[in-house]
Amino acid sequence: MTDTTDAPATDTLPTLKASISHVFLWLLGLVGLIAGIITTSSGGVLGPVLFGLGGLGVLLALAVQAVRFR
């Protein structure tokens, strides 16, 4: 039997919160991209703005993922 008295306590709540926010960031970016693609066909300024914001959201999610899983 192994002695676990000196084992560090693992707190999974911050990791869970970070995972939820990361997934939310991905979803927000993808929804922005899709909404930008759909509204670009109707003309106007809203489509490219949504597409750009969605792209930035996806890039931010990729950056967070790269830093976290380095």
DSSP 35-67: HHHHHHTT-SSHHHHHHHHHHHHHHHHHHHHHH
Is residue 6 a part of any domain in this protein? no
Single out the residue of 52, 47, 43, 53 nearest to residue 35, CA to CA.
Answer: 47
pLDDT tens column, 37-57? 888 877 788 888 888 888 888
Is residue 16 a part of any domain in this protein? no
d(CA 18, CA 58): 16
**pLDDT at residue number 14:** 66
Is residue 56 a part of any domain in this protein? yes
Q: For the chain, what is the domain count? A: 1
d(CA 51, CA 32): 6
Is residue 13 a part of any domain in this protein? no
Tokens of 61: 């999610």
Is residue 63 a part of any domain in this protein? yes
pLDDT tens column, 6-41? 556 566 666 767 777 778 888 888 888 888 888 887
Is residue 5 a part of any domain in this protein? no
User: What are the helix and strand counts (H, E) for the chain?
Assistant: 2, 0
Is residue 59 a part of any domain in this protein? yes
